[in-house]
Amino acid sequence: MSTLAPTNPLSAALHQSRGWLITGGVLSLIVGFLAISFPFLFSIVLAQVLGAFALASGLIALFLTITGKHPGHRVLDAITALIRIAAGIALFVCVTSSVLVITLIFAIFLMIEGIALIIGAFQLRAHAGWIWTLISGVASLVLGGLVYAKWPSDSVWVLGLFFGINLLFNGSALLALGLSAPKPAAA
């Protein structure tokens, strides 16, 4: 029997997820640095990627609606699919407007994420690295307020820059939790 085996469920989850936490932290840090280095480009890329996902999911949903065996909600499913397709096309064609809308949504997201991370940090107090989750939550909350304060005038560059900053804080928190989690026992 290993003496390193975690006793509570949260510790067990951190123990089992150590590698994923470290990997996620490193990837978040890399993408965060890239976003900070090229904020304007990253803002445009975010809008385009969201447009691609909306368009692809709309096309898939429309295909499934047309070829599906269940006639139940085909009209509603087709309307939903067409809305996704239209949103995807709009995100591609109206890049400036897309970035403005995404920036506003991002500000709201950051504030909600910040509150959730702050609450979650206090649940992690028993773990060494919990303070980084708290710092990440406070940073997300502050960044969300700053993004909202700069909207819409600085949306084109602020989205990429603040998204990158947020990724740096989240990556640091994930890395701290992963590095502080106990290493798996040797078999």
pLDDT in tens, 94-109: 888 888 888 888 889 9
d(CA 91, CA 69): 31
- pLDDT the model gives residue 2: 46
At residue 10, the pLDDT reads: 59
Residue identified by tokens 């060494």 is: 128
Whole-number pLDDT of residue 3? 46
Q: Residue 1's pLDDT is what?
A: 42
pLDDT for 14: 61
Q: pLDDT means per 10 residues in the chain (187 residues)? A: 52 70 92 92 89 93 84 80 91 86 88 93 84 90 89 82 88 87 67
Tell me the C-alpha to C-alpha distance, in Å, between residue 118 and each of 132, 139, 143, 144, 160: 10, 10, 14, 14, 23
H/E element, 81: helix 74-93
Both tokens assigned to 164: 């990158």
- Would you list the domain boundaries of the chain? 20-180
With the CA atoms of 67, 68, 70 and 71 taken in that order, what torsion angle do they form, in degrees rounded to the nearest 10? -30
- Of the candidates 159, 154, 156, 131, the one whose C-alpha atom is nearest the C-alpha of residue 143 is 159
For helices 155-180 and 18-37, what crossing angle results, to 10°?
160
Asked whether the beta carbons of 129 and 162 are under 8 A apart, the reply is: no
pLDDT digits 0-9 by tens, 128-163: 778 888 998 999 999 899 889 878 887 788 888 888
The radius of gyration of the chain's CA atoms, rounded to the nearest angstrom, is 20
